C-alpha cells in the first residue's frame, strides 16, 4: 500500500513537472527568449546563493548532530595507543580540507550568483593569470607535503613489526565463512604450526598435533586482552579474503588465505573504562533498545567485525572483544582449557594415544603421591587401601596396557621412597562370566602387577599378589558404570 502510494506520488510529481516545463516554454515564447533567459538567470543565481547557505549550514549542523558517534570526537576516541595518532591525523586533515571546502564551495556558488547573466554585462576577458596560478598550485602542494609527512610518519610507526626483545602477547584470528576463529598460545607463549591440509571438523585451524607448541593452544570464543599490553594479532583466512576489523581500536587488516598478515596495537581502555566515558554523554544515557533494564552505556561492548566482502554472511562475523585489567586477564586465561586436551585428546586424531603427555605424567604423579601420603598418614586400616586408577589390562587377559606403566612407576617410586613398606596387590573383576575364571584372571592380573614392580627392582618379598575375583564388588554389578568400578586393581599398605 505504502509502495503504491509512493509510486502514485512520484507519477503525480512527474506529470506536474512536465506541465511546468510546458508552461515555462510557453512563457518564453510570449516574453521572448532573451527576457526569459534573464529571468531564469536571476532566479537560478538566487537559488545558487540559497543553496550555498543552506548546504554549508547543513554540513555544520549535521556534523554537530552526529559528533558523538564519530571517530575522534566526543566519546568515540580511539581505545588504542596508535589510534590516537590516527584520530589526530584525521582531525588535522579535516581542518585543512574544511577550509578549502568552505572557501571553494562558497566561491563557486557565490560567483554563480554574482555573475549571473544580464543583458549588457560585459564579461571579463581573463584567459589566465600566471601569478595566481602559481600561488594556487603552491599552496596545495605545501599542505599536501605537510599531510604526507605526518601520515607516513604515523603509518610506518603503526605498521612496524615487533622489534626483537619487545614484550608482547600474540593471538591469532582466522576468518572463514562466516565467523572468526580465535587462537591464543598456551603457557608456552607460542602458537603452534598449521597446515591447511589437516583442517577437519575437529581441527578447524589445521593445527599439526605433532608440534608440541599446539598442545596448549586455546580456542576462546571471544577476544579478551589485558589493557596497556602490546598485542600482535596474527591474521589468517581459511577460504576467501576476510578483514580483521576492530573499529574502536583503529585496527584493520585483510586476512588472506595462504599469507598470514599481522596488526600490532595496544589497547588503552578497558571495556569498563570505555563504558564510564560513554556514560557522560546524553546519547548513551537512554535505555538500550535490546535490554530496557540497562542504559546504553552499560551494555556497550567492543566488537570484532569483518571488513572485506566474503560472501552472503559477510555482515554477521561478530565476536565480542573485552579489554580487562592484567589480573582479570590472568584469571580468565587460567580458566581456558587447551583445545587439544578438551577436544582432541583420546580421539582418533590424537597422535599421542599410547603415551602420556608430560603434563599428564606430572599431574598423575602429583595425584598419586598425594593419595599415598594420605594413606600413610591414616590410622584407619580402611584408608590404607588404594585403588590404582590408571592401571588397565587388555580385555579378558592379564596383559597390562601400555599406559598402565606410568601409574605403576609412581607406585614403584613410592616403594623405593619408603623401603620398609610392604603391600598387597589385589585384583578384582565384575560378575560377568564364570566366577572361577574371574578368580583366576584376577590372580593373574595381580601377579602381572607384582611382576612389573619386581622388574622395576622392588624386592618380591615386599609384594603379595592376591586375586579376589568377583567376590568384593566396590559397586553394583547391575549397571555398566558399576561394573566398570568393580573391575579394578588395588593395593593395601600392609606395613610402612
Partner 1 sequence: MANAANNPMSEEDILIKEQGYDDHFHDHHHGDKYQSNFITTYIFSQDHKIIARQFLITGMIWAIIGGLMSLIFRLQLGFPAEDMAWLKPILGRWITLNEAGLGSIAPEFYYAMVTMHGTIIVFFVLTAGLSGTFSNLLIPLQVGARDMASPFLNMLSYWFFFLAGVVMFISLFLSTGPFSGGWTAYPPLSALPQASTGSGAGMTLWLISLVLFVVSVLLGGINYVTTVLNLRTKGMTMWRMPLTIWAFFVTAILGILSFPVLASGFFLLVFDRGLGTSFFLNEIYIGGQALDHVGGSPVLYQHLFWFLGHPEVYIIILPAMGLVSEVLSVHARKPIFGYKAMVYSILAIAFLSFIVWAHHMFMSGVNPFISNFFVVFTLIIAVPSAVKVFNWIATLYGGNVRFTAASLFAIGFVSMFISGGLTGIFLGNSAIDIQLHDTYFVVAHFHIVMGVAAFFGMFAGVYQWFPKMFGRFMNESLGRIHFWGTLVGAYAIFWPMHYLGMAGVPRRYYKFDVFESFGQFATMNKFITIAAIFVFALQILFVINFFYSIWKGKKMTTKNPWGASTLEWTTPINTGHGNWEGNIPTVHRWPYDYGKDGKDYISQIQPLSEGEKDGGDH
Residues 432-491 that bind partner 1 (CB under 8 A): none
Query: CB-wise, 263 or 468, nearer to partner 1?
Result: 263
Q: Which residues from 178-207 bind partner 1, rule CB under 8 A?
A: 196-197, 199, 201, 206
Range 79-118, binding partner 1 (CB under 8 A):
83, 85-86, 89-90, 93-94, 96-97, 100-101, 104-105, 107-109, 111-112, 115-118
Tell me the C-alpha distance between 397 and 390, whole Å: 16
In angstroms, give the least distance from the CB of 28 to partner 1: 8
Query: Which of 390, 404, 398 is CA-nearest to residue 429?
Result: 398
* Cβ pair 43, 112 in contact under 8 A: no
Select the residue interacting with partner 1 from 5, 30, 95, 128 (CB under 8 A).
128
Site for partner 1 in 28-57 (CB under 8 A): 37, 40-41, 43-45, 47-48, 51, 55
Give the rounded distance of the alpha carbon of 194 from its chain centre.
Answer: 18
Q: Tell me the closest approach of the beta carbon of residue 207 to partner 1, in angstroms.
A: 13
Residue of 173, 175, 192, 247 that binds partner 1 (CB under 8 A): 247
Which ranges of 404-456 would DSSP assign to H, the alpha helix?
404-417, 435-455
Residue 158 is a binding residue for partner 1 (CB under 8 A): yes
Of 11 and 435, CB closest to partner 1: 11
Does position 238 bind partner 1 by CB under 8 A? yes
Confirm or reject binding of residue 140 to partner 1 (CB under 8 A): yes
C-alpha triplet 178, 323, 241: angle, nearest 5°: 25
Of these, 30, 95, 125, 457, which contacts partner 1 (CB under 8 A)?
Answer: 125
Task: Find the part of the chain contacting partner 1 (CB under 8 A) among 125-133, 364-372, 435-443, 468-476.
Answer: 125-133
137 is a site residue for partner 1 (CB under 8 A): yes
Q: How far is CA 451 from CA 6, 80, 445, 458, in A?
A: 93, 64, 10, 9
Decide whether 246 or 423 has the Cβ nearer to partner 1.
246
Half-sphere exposure of 426 (CA within 13 A, CB side): 21
d(CA 193, CA 428): 45
Closest distance of CB 233 from partner 1, Å: 13
- State which of positions 250-289 bind partner 1 (CB under 8 A): 250-254, 256-259, 261
Measure the CA–CA gap between 480 and 418, rounded to whole angstroms: 37
162 close to 264: Cβ distance less than 8 angstroms: yes
Counting contacts by CB under 8 A, is residue 8 touching partner 1? no
Q: What is the smallest separation between the CB atom of 373 and partner 1, expressed in angstroms?
A: 50
Q: Does the protein bind partner 1 through residue 303 (CB under 8 A)? A: yes
Q: Which of residues 362-421 bind partner 1 (CB under 8 A)?
A: none
Among 159, 366, 378, 460, contact with partner 1 (rule: CB under 8 A)? 159
Residues 327-346 that bind partner 1 (CB under 8 A): none
Alpha-carbon torsion, ordered 110, 114, 115, 118, to 10 deg: 140
Per DSSP, what are the bridge partners of residue 183? 172
Name the residue nearer to partner 1 (CB basis): 64 or 189.
Answer: 64
Pairing assessment for the beta strands 251-255 and 242-246 based on DSSP bridges: antiparallel
> And the C-alpha cell for 318?
561478530
Tell whether residue 216 is a contact of partner 1 (CB under 8 A). no
Instruction: Compare residues 67 and 447 and give the one whose CB is closer to partner 1.
Output: 67
Secondary structure string (H, E, C) spanning 221-264: CCEEEECCCCEEEEEEECCCCEEEEEHHHCEEEEEEECECEEEE
Residue 244 Cβ vs partner 1, minimum distance, rounded to whole Å:
10
**Least spacing, CB of residue 31 vs partner 1, in Å:** 13
Nearer to partner 1, 54 or 381 (CB): 54
DSSP 8-state assignment for residue 459: -
Q: What letter would DSSP give residue 194?
A: B
- Closest approach of Cβ 59 to partner 1, in Å? 7
Q: Measuring CA to CA, which residue among 392, 384, 404, 496 is closest to residue 456? A: 404
CA dihedral 346, 172, 267, 187 (to 10 degrees): 40
Closest CB to partner 1 among residues 267, 427: 267
> Is residue 422 a contact partner of residue 453, using CB atoms and an 8 Å limit?
no
Q: How far is the C-alpha of 32 from the C-alpha of 29, rounded, in Å? A: 5
Q: Is 248 in the site for partner 1 (CB under 8 A)?
A: yes
| DSSP annotation of 399 | P
Q: What's the CA dihedral at 151, 157, 158, 162 to 10 degrees?
A: 170
10 contacts partner 1 (rule: CB under 8 A): yes
Specify the residue, 45 or 427, whose C-beta has the smaller distance to partner 1. Answer: 45
Interface with partner 1, residue 121, by CB under 8 A: yes
CA angle 455, 461, 462 (to 5 degrees): 85
Q: Which among 305-313, 360-368, 383-391, 432-440 is the span making contact with partner 1, rule CB under 8 A?
A: 305-313
Amino acid at each position: 500500500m505504502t509502495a503504491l502510494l509512493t509510486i502514485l506520488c512520484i507519477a503525480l510529481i512527474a506529470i506536474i513537472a512536465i506541465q511546468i516545463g510546458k508552461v515555462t516554454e510557453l512563457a518564453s515564447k510570449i516574453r521572448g527568449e532573451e527576457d526569459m533567459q534573464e529571468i531564469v538567470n536571476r532566479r537560478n543565481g538566487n537559488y545558487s546563493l540559497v543553496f550555498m547557505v543552506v548546504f554549508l549550514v547543513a554540513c555544520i549542523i549535521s556534523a554537530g548532530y552526529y559528533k558523538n558517534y564519530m571517530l575522534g570526537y566526543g566519546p568515540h576516541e580511539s581505545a588504542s595507543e596508535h589510534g590516537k595518532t590516527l584520530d589526530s591525523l584525521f582531525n588535522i586533515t579535516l581542518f585543512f580540507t574544511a577550509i578549502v571546502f568552505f572557501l571553494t564551495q562558497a566561491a563557486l556558488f557565490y560567483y554563480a550568483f554574482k555573475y549571473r547573466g544580464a543583458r549588457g554585462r560585459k564579461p571579463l576577458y581573463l584567459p589566465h593569470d600566471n601569478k595566481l596560478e602559481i600561488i594556487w598550485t603552491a599552496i596545495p602542494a605545501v599542505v599536501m607535503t605537510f599531510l604526507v609527512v605526518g601520515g607516513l610518519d604515523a603509518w610506518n610507526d603503526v605498521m612496524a613489526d615487533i622489534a626483537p626483545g619487545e614484550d608482547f602477547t600474540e593471538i591469532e584470528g582466522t576468518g572463514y565463512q562466516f565467523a572468526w576463529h580465535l587462537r591464543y598460545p598456551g603457557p608456552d607463549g607460542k602458537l603452534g604450526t598449521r597446515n591447511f591440509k589437516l583442517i577437519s571438523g575437529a581441527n578447524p585451524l589445521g593445527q599439526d598435533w605433532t608440534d608440541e607448541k599446539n598442545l596448549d593452544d586455546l580456542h576462546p570464543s571471544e577476544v579478551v586482552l589485558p589493557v596497556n599490553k602490546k598485542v600482535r594479532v596474527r591474521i589468517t583466512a581459511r577460504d576467501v579474503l576476510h578483514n580483521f576489523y576492530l573499529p574502536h581500536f583503529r585496527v584493520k587488516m585483510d586476512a588472506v588465505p595462504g599469507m598470514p598478515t599481522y596488526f600490532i596495537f595496544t589497547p588503552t581502555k578497558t571495556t569498563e573504562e570505555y563504558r564510564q566515558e560513554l556514560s557522560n554523554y546524553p546519547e548513551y544515557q537512554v535505555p538500550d533498545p535490546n535490554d530496557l533494564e540497562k542504559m546504553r552505556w552499560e551494555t556497550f561492548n567492543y566488537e570484532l567485525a569483518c571488513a572485506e566482502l566474503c560472501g552472503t554472511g559477510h555482515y554477521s562475523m561478530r565476536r565480542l572483544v573485552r579489554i580487562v585489567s592484567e589480573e582479570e586477564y590472568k584469571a580468565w586465561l587460567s580458566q581456558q582449557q587447551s583445545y587439544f586436551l578438551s577436544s582432541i585428546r583420546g580421539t582418533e586424531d590424537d597422535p599421542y594415544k599410547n603415551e602420556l603427555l608430560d603434563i599428564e605424567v606430572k599431574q598423575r604423579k602429583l595425584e598419586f603421591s598425594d593419595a599415598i601420603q594420605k594413606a600413610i598418614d591414616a590410622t584407619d586400616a580402611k584408608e590404607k587401601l588404594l585403588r590404582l586408577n590408571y592401571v588397565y589390562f587388555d580385555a579378558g587377559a592379564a596383559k597390562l596396557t601400555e599406559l598402565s606403566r606410568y601409574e605403576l612407576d609412581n607406585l614403584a617410586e613410592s616403594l623405593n621412597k619408603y623401603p620398609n613398606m610392604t603391600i598387597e596387590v589385589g585384583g578384582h573383576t565384575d560378575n560377568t562370566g564364570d566366577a572361577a575364571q574371574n578368580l583366576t584372571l584376577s590372580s593373574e592380573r595381580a601377579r602381572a602387577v607384582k611382576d612389573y614392580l619386581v622388574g622395576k627392582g622392588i624386592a618380591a618379598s615386599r609384594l603379595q599378589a592376591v586375586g579376589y575375583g568377583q567376590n568384593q564388588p566396590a559397586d553394583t554389578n547391575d549397571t555398566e558404570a558399576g561394573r566398570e568400578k568393580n573391575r579394578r586393581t588395588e593395593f593395601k599398605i600392609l606395613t610402612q
